[in-house]
């Protein structure tokens, strides 16, 4: 081989090596890009070691977990634990809402501390969102206590056999730290008075009853209290009481750590008629709205007053209705964001309709009332419920006689027009008159409606339907009462923070009229079998239950029952 040929051969080899080098560089760059992309997508390379997943406490599937549990994650290193933030580590209820609480990180542990004990017999989900990947979670179920406590008398037991001291109209509200207040009216030996008693969880004891109504020379009989509590534990009571010869609306407030305030008069003293039937609701900031009915010399109208928490005062009474016909049965609902809606029935007898009005601003005027019920249909006895998003649901009795049915409508958040009314019908043989609607909304916007409806023979059963926020529809009604007994009626509802719902009612049977209750389990979406709360050994006439639920999901029921001499006020709890 001559020198030129050798040079050409060497050049070809060098060119081949150079081309292979360039090709190798391109492959290396492509591999680097794919590796980086794979790592960005969370796909581990062949040589990568995946990060260890944190351990969940309680373990997944744990049962009978104490309601005071502080769920936590244990990470591989303290540095990993520091990646836990409130937005990435959350405790959720069965309805998907986030449990309020604090996140604490110490060493390898990230611990969630709930603001209140968890609801009993409820499945919670501890959810960890690692590096914005698909969240991992663990579920546990809190301890179950399905038996209500034995009923106890909470009015003055020393007068239990005095026939002239009947106690009636029991109501209940849950305050701060699990405290519950019950109120009722009872003759004190001189006149009817508003009595209250408080339950303290630490002592498991109801306080001796005391009066809170107006004590003055011009004040006389007081009657039919109503209660509402705000998230800070302040409880407001309203009632009507004779002052200077006619009924006035009065109110007193209980703030945690303080005593009841001196009663404040809410109605306009210049309005000539008797003010009655007060209803109230409180928002998340502690503002309270009270509505009532009162004749003004021309017709019976609906009035309202508001207590502004920031200003510490009640606004003057304002008329809400705009028609010349009589208006009765006011209702009010307040959303946590402060949205206030009032409703009532109004119109000539036999042609009543349901009207509603919306408060424009906390200190502003009320909007012009709108008709909520269907045209040409008689509508009475409205009830309202507001959810956490400002959506308000109304229900009422529509029709007359045997054709009475339960109708509903919704006022969506930000809207000023109500949806077209929808009729809910009980299944099976119960196609006769429907009465006594009750509503409650949970923190996720689901609404429960309960009512009583008769069969052709006049036997009333109790039904409940649920409006599911996820589907925007009412589901099929479920029967709640004991089918082996006689008629049931007067349902009352409460919902806890986890979405569990309790319904109480009275029902007739071989042992007389007794108080019963059933619980909707948000974890299983099922109603329990009814449980009897009153004790038939001591009464054959227990009626008109009221319910309260505290931040931990403990439910208190109060009612009145006859003991052979007079009506007593009784209480039972589902802790």
Q: Are 488 and 434 a contacting pair, CB within 8 Å?
A: no
Side by side, the strands of the sheet bearing 136-142 are: 62-65, 136-142, 123-128, 89-92
Q: Compute CA 55 distance to the chain's CA centroid, rounded to the nearest angstrom.
A: 34
pLDDT digits (tens, 9 = 90+) for 151-201: 999 999 999 999 999 999 999 999 989 999 999 999 999 999 999 999 999
Can you read off the two tokens belonging to residue 565?
A: 């001499």
Beta bridge partners of 228: 236
CA angle, 19 as apex, 15 and 25 as ends, to 5°?
145
DSSP at 543: E
Q: Compute CA 77 distance to the chain's CA centroid, rounded to the nearest angstrom.
A: 41
E runs forming strands in 188-234? 192-200, 205-206, 210-211, 219-229
HSE on the CB side for 194, CA within 13 Å? Answer: 29
pLDDT of 132 reads 62
Q: Does domain 55-142 have CATH number 2.60.40.1220?
A: yes
pLDDT of 15 reads 54
pLDDT digits (tens, 9 = 90+) for 450-498: 999 999 999 999 999 999 999 999 999 999 999 999 999 999 999 999 9
Q: Are 410 and 418 a contacting pair, CB within 8 Å?
A: yes
| Pairing relationship of beta strands 101-106 and 109-114 according to DSSP bridges | antiparallel
pLDDT of 35 reads 36
Q: Are 244 and 297 a contacting pair, CB within 8 Å?
A: no
Q: What are phi and psi of 392, to 5 degrees?
A: -115, 130
pLDDT of 51 reads 53
Beta carbons within 8 Å of 563's beta carbon, 6+ residues apart: 160, 161, 538, 539
pLDDT of 130 reads 82
CA angle, 507 as apex, 502 and 509 as ends, to 5°?
140
Q: How far apart are CA 178 and CA 198, in angstroms?
A: 10
Q: How far apart are CA 343 and CA 394, in angstroms?
A: 8
Summarize the chain as % helix, strand, coil (round to 5).
10, 45, 45
Can you read off the two tokens belonging to residue 213?
A: 């109504």
User: What 3-state DSSP class applies to 503?
Assistant: strand
Beta bridge partners of 303: 292, 319
Q: How far apart are CA 53 and CA 34, in angstroms?
A: 25
What does pLDDT average to in each consecutive run of 10 residues of the chain (575 residues)?
46 47 45 36 35 88 97 96 94 97 97 96 95 83 94 97 97 95 96 98 96 97 98 97 97 96 97 97 96 97 97 96 98 93 97 95 87 96 97 98 97 94 94 98 98 97 98 97 97 98 97 97 97 95 98 97 97 96
Q: What are phi and psi of 69, to 5 degrees?
A: -60, 150
| Pairing relationship of beta strands 210-211 and 219-229 according to DSSP bridges | unpaired
pLDDT of 417 reads 94
Q: Are 519 and 533 a contacting pair, CB within 8 Å?
A: no
Closest C-alpha among 514, 309, 548 to residue 440: 548
Burial of 18 (0-12, 13-18, 19+ CB in 10 A): exposed
Q: How far apart are CA 177 and CA 235, in angstroms?
A: 13
Q: Are 398 and 378 a contacting pair, CB within 8 Å?
A: yes
Spell out the domain ranges in the chain.
Answer: 55-142
Beta carbons within 8 Å of 373's beta carbon, 6+ residues apart: 353, 354, 379, 396, 398, 407, 409, 421
Closest C-alpha among 286, 287, 394 to residue 344: 394
Q: Are 194 and 209 a contacting pair, CB within 8 Å?
A: no
Q: How far apart are CA 491 and CA 395, in angstroms?
A: 14
User: What 3-state DSSP class applies to 3?
Assistant: helix
Closest C-alpha among 181, 237, 228, 232 to residue 209: 181
Closest C-alpha among 503, 483, 506 to residue 493: 503
Closest C-alpha among 438, 429, 490, 488 to residue 466: 438
Beta carbons within 8 Å of 364's beta carbon, 6+ residues apart: none
DSSP 174-193: E-GGG-EEEEEEEE-SSSEE
Q: How far apart are CA 553 and CA 67, in angstroms?
A: 10
Q: How far apart are CA 29 and CA 272, in angstroms?
A: 91
For residue 26, cis peptide bond before it (omega within 30 degrees of 0)? no
pLDDT of 33 reads 42
Cα end-to-end distance, the chain, whole Å: 104
Q: How far apart are CA 370 and CA 354, in angstroms?
A: 9
Q: How far apart are CA 241 and CA 61, in angstroms?
A: 55
Q: How far apart are CA 137 and CA 58, in angstroms?
A: 11
């Amino acid at each position: 081989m001559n020198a030129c040929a050798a040079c050409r051969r060497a050049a070809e080899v060098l060119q081949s090596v150079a081309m292979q080098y360039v090709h190798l560089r391109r492959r290396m760059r492509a591999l680097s890009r794919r590796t980086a992309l794979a790592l960005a997508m969370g796909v581990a390379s062949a040589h990568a070691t995946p990060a260890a997943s944190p351990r969940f406490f309680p373990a997944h599937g744990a049962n009978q977990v104490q309601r005071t549990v502080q769920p936590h994650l244990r990470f591989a290193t303290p540095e990993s634990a520091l990646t836990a933030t409130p937005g990435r580590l959350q405790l959720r209820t069965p309805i998907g809402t986030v449990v309020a609480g604090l996140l604490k990180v110490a060493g390898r542990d990230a611990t969630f501390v709930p603001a209140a004990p968890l609801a009993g017999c409820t499945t919670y989900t501890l959810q960890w969102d690692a590096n914005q990947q698909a969240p991992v979670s663990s579920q546990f179920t809190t301890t179950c206590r399905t038996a209500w406590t034995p009923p106890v008398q909470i009015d003055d037991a020393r007068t239990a056999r005095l026939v002239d001291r009947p106690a009636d109209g029991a109501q209940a509200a849950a305050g701060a730290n699990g405290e519950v207040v019950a109120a009722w009216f009872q003759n004190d030996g001189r006149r009817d008075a508003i009595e209250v008693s408080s339950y303290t969880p630490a002592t498991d004891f109801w306080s001796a009853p005391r009066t809170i109504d107006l004590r003055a020379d011009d004040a006389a009989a007081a009657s039919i209290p109503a209660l509402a509590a705000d998230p800070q534990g302040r409880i407001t009571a309203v009632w009507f009481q004779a002052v200077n010869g006619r009924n006035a609306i009065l109110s007193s407030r209980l703030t945690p750590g303080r005593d009841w305030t001196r009663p404040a008069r809410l109605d306009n003293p210049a309005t000539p008629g008797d003010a009655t039937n007060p209803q109230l609701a409180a928002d998340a900031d502690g503002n309270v709205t009270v509505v009532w009915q009162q004749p003004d010399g021309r017709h019976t109208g609906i009035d309202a007053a508001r207590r502004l928490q920031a200003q510490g005062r009640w606004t003057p009474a304002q008329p809400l209705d705009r028609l010349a016909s009589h208006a009765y049965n006011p209702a009010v609902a307040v959303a946590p964001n402060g949205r206030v809606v009032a409703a009532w029935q109004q119109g000539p007898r036999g042609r009543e309709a349901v009207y509603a009005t919306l408060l424009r601003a906390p200190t502003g005027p009320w909007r012009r009332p709108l008709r909520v019920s269907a045209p040409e249909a008689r509508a009475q006895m409205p009830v309202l419920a507001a959810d956490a998003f400002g959506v308000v649901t109304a229900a009422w009795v529509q029709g007359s006689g045997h054709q009475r049915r339960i109708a509903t409508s919704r006022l969506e958040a930000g809207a000023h027009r109500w949806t077209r009314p929808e009729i809910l019908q009980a299944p099976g043989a119960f196609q006769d008159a429907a009465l006594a609607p009750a509503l409650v909304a949970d923190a996720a916007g689901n609404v429960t409606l309960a009512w009583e409806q008769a069969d052709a023979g006049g036997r009333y059963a109790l039904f409940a339907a649920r409006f599911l926020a996820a589907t925007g529809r009412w589901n099929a009604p479920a029967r709640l009462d004991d089918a082996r007994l006689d008629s049931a009626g007067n349902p009352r509802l409460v919902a806890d923070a986890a979405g569990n719902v309790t319904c109480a009612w009275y029902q007739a049977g071989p042992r007389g009229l007794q108080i019963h209750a059933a619980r909707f389990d948000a974890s299983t979406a099922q109603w329990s079998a009814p449980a009897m709360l009153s004790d038939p050994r001591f009464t054959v006439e227990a009626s008109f239950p009221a319910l309260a639920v505290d931040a931990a999901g403990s439910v208190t029921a109060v009612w009145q029952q006859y003991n052979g001499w007079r009506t007593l006020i009784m209480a039972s709890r589902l802790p």
